[in-house]
Amino acid sequence: MGKMIKLKAKDGHELDAYLAEPKGKAKGGIVVVQEIFGVTNHIKRVADQFAAKGYKVVAPAMFDRVERNVTLAYSEIEKGRGYMQRLQWPNTLADVDAALSEARSAGNVALVGYCWGGTVAHVAASALDLDAAVSYYGGGVAKMLDKKPQCPIMYHYGDQDASIPLPDIEKIKKANPKSPLHVYPGAGHGFNCDERGSYSAKDAKVAFERSVDFLSAQLA
């Protein structure tokens, strides 16, 4: 189990974050960026998962810019979108950077994002000092292909994701031909989240193993 800590962005904004640390010396740092539902128990479990693999993990509360202590039920999609739409990219990247600074005490750093966080991973990889990134079903990536990742990045998508059509996935693949992009047959949006109806234990396991192998190589 991890704990909540405080981070400070370069503009002075203070935000909460969940910190999960490994047993023994860390192999590197990972920032986990939330979905549109806040730092949920699922996001905390994801952080714990990566910490169990030897990483120092920081999961910043990205909605603190709008309202503090936001944790939504997975049925509150419209409410989550409302919070997301009130954020501005410069502030979002500043908060991610604050989390990266905390994680960097463990060595090389990566960002792993889910849903909206998957889009943040793509944009952050183009704008911030990262050693690697992993994007899970980032719905906005196809609209932001002008943002070119400057570090190795891996993408995960389900081919039954109603919010991310296959032509969009093809566009992402074409725009980033050197980046590993995995498509999971039969998987929907949020297939990694064990609190959603779309959860696929099999695909979540494979995606996690692929992500860990990728990050292990990039953060070494």
Cα→Cα distances 188→60, 134, 149, 157, Å: 25, 18, 25, 8
Residue 1: the pLDDT is 76
Write out residues in the chain with pLDDT < 70, as ranges. Answer: none
pTM of the shown model: 0.98
Contact 70, 42 (CB under 8 A): no
Q: Is 154 left (phi over 0), alpha (psi -120 to 50) or beta?
A: beta
Residue 99: the pLDDT is 98
Tell me: the pLDDT tens digits for 25-39? 999 999 999 999 999
Q: Alpha-carbon distance 170 to 176, whole Å?
A: 10
Delimit the domains of the chain by residue range: 3-219
Cα→Cα distances 85→17, 51, 81, Å: 21, 30, 6
CATH number given to 3-219 = 3.40.50.1820
Q: What is the percentage of the chain residues whose pLDDT exceeds 70?
A: 100
Residue 159's SS3 state is: coil
Residue 69: the pLDDT is 95
